[in-house]
Structure 1
Amino acid sequence: MSDFDLFRINEDHEALREAVREVAEAQIAPHAAAVDEEARFPVEALKALTATDFHAPHIAEEYDGVGADALATCIVIEEVARVCASSSLIPAVNKLGTMPLILAASDEIKQKYLPPVARGEAMFSYGLSEAGAGSDTAGMTCKAVEQPDGSFVLNGQKSWITNAGESEYYTVMAVTDPEGERGRNVSAFVVEKSDEGFTFGALEKKLGIKGSPTRELHFDNCRIPGDRMVGGRGEGLKIALRTLDHTRVTIGAQAVGIAQGALDAALAYVKERQQFGKKIAEFQGVQFMLADMGMKLEAARQMVYVAAAKSERGDADLPFFGAAAKCFASDVAMEVTTDAVQLFGGYGYTKDFPVERMMRDAKITQIYEGTNQVQRIVMARQLLRG
């Protein structure tokens, strides 16, 4: 039964994992602590990921990409997050920003904006949340008013935008029909960094993922050509939520990677650290902690991979599985990283070891792309619909 492939990653995906891990350990991991300490964008990671086509692997070959499937993209993100969560947001956010185009844009828009990202010439961010419209996305106030020439003038702001300022392009959701039905009055647009009237707020000072800039997007009479609308008028929120069904899976992958990095560090430490005349790995209490960490991590990984397969196929139950993968994996990441710090004892509380950074980085996975409370609402709705 050696050829029984059910529930086994194929050779191509395993080879990909090895390739990404080699790049991550050699070219990204050495800079991870400095990226966090200095709160600077991981330029070394961007260079390494771009050189190996791991920066936006999901983009199809027809748009100059490598055409990696959803599982392969998750493996890339997981392996990068294992050493540096901030760096893993390069491929993760490139997928988040471009997914609305992949799902709903005209071929003209795809041909214009996807190839530069695939070639590593630009990054793509996603503008949905606002200060007063986080979980309640339909409550956004950013507006795009149509002009006689068919263009739209954008006014308002977006909050907590990942890689803002570094990305060249932004998918932005804005209200185009203020008197229309709530949730069906939003349209999506591509905004370019160079557009007049488009500026960025100050860098947010964050608990974790400090190497990935988080800033507000400000629009002051920013004129957008009408042909940059993604999908139809009034379809923006639907496109945004469909996007999140797919990209929540990548956040699950990021969470799995962070947790794996913390478990790896903890395992190495307990095999070396001695107390009471023996290595602490020999104590049953420590072994039980490690067993729970490994068990929950593997369960999270399997859930993420199943959700990735459903994303690739476009299965009808993706909304449930995407939410479940993100929710479960991020909760596991928070637990595993916290336990890793505990296993390190006082050393774990210092910046001399990576586990405190991993614990701080893990927290955001429970929050962005929909809090885990929102994920549970999504799951419950899907279950009740039958």
Structure 2
Amino acid sequence: KYAVPDPGSAGTLLVVANGPSIWRPGPGAAALAAAEDKLGLRSARTLKLVLDGVEAERIGTGTTEVVAALLAAKLVTAGIALGLARAAVEYAAAYARERTAFGRPIGAFQGISFMIADRATDLEAARLLCWEAGWALEAARQDVGRLVMAACGQAVSAALAASDDAVQVLGGHGYMRDHPVELWYRDAMTLATLDAPWLVGDLFLAGGYRAAEPARGASQGAGWEVAAGRRPDGSPGGTP
């Protein structure tokens, strides 16, 4: 297993396999390779974990425990991405207020101001989704899977876009280590690669909407399938 966050410091190692089930290998069963030399998130040390012919105790079966752990981890990823996106947006906005060109702050030009406004909008959308997903996880709501995956996908997308645009706002300075935006860009790319929410998020989202019940106060049949793209009367439709 690649990209395991610092397993050498963990007191207990859990492995998901066969079913899925949750297994606990015995002490010293795992072999650790050298730390991985990543593009970003370099402060979060990750290693390759090797399990070969080891004995393990099964401590959980079925998907309930696995899904619960997955959702909690994805919400942590969303929080990291949200903070990264906020840092990039705020830094780019501050730079655009201070940097001048043709006698005006560059933030006064639409090409810059519209870019920052779009990323700020993405940030607010991600923040609200993360708040609702956290509330749903705490309250054990039935739609928690859909909300957590939506929050994670939105937050990581916001981090990617915000860090990329921050580099563009700073121009040549964006590629220099005198400013932190190049670091945030590398971190966002690494976060999206190591913990891509789209790998399983689409399954939660599509399944959740296909099985959606009619909203409170809506007419019978209002919970039509988004995937099918048709209204209850058979006419074509978009997202409800």
Q: Indicate whether the TM-score tops 0.5.
A: yes
Q: Corresponding residue for 2:84?
A: 258
Correspondence for 1:188 among 8, 11, 22: 22
Correspondence for 2:54 among 222, 231, 249: 222
CA deviation after TM superposition for structure 1 residue 289, in Å: 1.2
CA deviation after TM superposition for structure 1 residue 383, in Å: 1.4
2:26 matches 1:197: no
Uncovered stretches (5+) of structure 2, i.e. residues with no partner: 213-240
1:141-152 counterparts in 2 under 5 A?
none
SS at match of 2:177: coil
Alpha-carbon distance in structure 2 between the residues aligned to 1:311 and 1:207: 32
CA deviation after TM superposition for structure 1 residue 190, in Å: 3.6
SS at match of 1:200: strand
Cα–Cα, structure 1 residues 339 and 370, in superposed 2: closer, same or farther, change >3 Å?
closer
Confirm or deny: 8 A CA contact 2:149 2:197 kept in the other structure.
no
Uncovered stretches (5+) of structure 1, i.e. residues with no partner: 1-157, 176-182
Cα–Cα, structure 1 residues 208 and 306, in superposed 2: closer, same or farther, change >3 Å?
same
CA deviation after TM superposition for structure 1 residue 202, in Å: 2.2
2:123 matches 1:294: no
1:41-190 counterparts in 2 under 5 A?
158-175=1-18, 183=19, 186-190=20-24
Q: Corresponding residue for 1:322?
A: 148
Confirm or deny: 8 A CA contact 2:25 2:54 kept in the other structure.
no
Alpha-carbon distance in structure 2 between the residues aligned to 1:262 and 1:370: 20
2:41 matches 1:212: no
CA deviation after TM superposition for structure 1 residue 373, in Å: 4.3
CA deviation after TM superposition for structure 1 residue 260, in Å: 0.6
Alpha-carbon distance in structure 1 between the residues aligned to 2:190 and 2:135: 24
What letter corresponds to residue 123 of structure 2 in structure 1? L
Alpha-carbon distance in structure 1 between the residues aligned to 2:175 and 2:9: 31
CA deviation after TM superposition for structure 1 residue 169, in Å: 2.6
Identity %: 30
Alpha-carbon distance in structure 2 between the residues aligned to 1:307 and 1:371: 14
What letter corresponds to residue 2 of structure 2 in structure 1? S
Alpha-carbon distance in structure 2 between the residues aligned to 1:312 and 1:299: 20
What letter corresponds to residue 165 of structure 1 in structure 2? G
SS at match of 1:215: strand
CA deviation map 1:320-364 (0-9, x unaligned): 001100011111110111011100000001111100110111123
CA deviation map 1:89-109 (0-9, x unaligned): xxxxxxxxxxxxxxxxxxxxx
Correspondence for 1:310 among 126, 136, 153: 136
Query: Please, what is the CA RMSD of the aligned residues?
Result: 2.0
Alpha-carbon distance in structure 1 between the residues aligned to 2:196 and 2:112: 34
What letter corresponds to residue 317 of structure 1 in structure 2? D
CA deviation after TM superposition for structure 1 residue 368, in Å: 3.9
Cα–Cα, structure 1 residues 368 and 383, in superposed 2: closer, same or farther, change >3 Å?
farther
TM-score (norm 1): 0.51
Alpha-carbon distance in structure 1 between the residues aligned to 2:115 and 2:196: 29
CA deviation map 1:187-207 (0-9, x unaligned): 213447xx2332212222212
CA deviation after TM superposition for structure 1 residue 370, in Å: 4.6
Q: Corresponding residue for 2:186?
A: 360
Confirm or deny: 8 A CA contact 2:41 2:191 kept in the other structure.
no
The count of residues paired between Structure 1 and Structure 2 equals: 212
CA deviation after TM superposition for structure 1 residue 239, in Å: 1.9
What letter corresponds to residue 121 of structure 2 in structure 1? M
CA deviation after TM superposition for structure 1 residue 295, in Å: 1.1
CA deviation after TM superposition for structure 1 residue 220, in Å: 3.7
CA deviation map 1:295-319 (0-9, x unaligned): 1101110011000100100100011
Alpha-carbon distance in structure 2 between the residues aligned to 1:368 and 1:296: 22
Alpha-carbon distance in structure 2 between the residues aligned to 1:361 and 1:326: 15
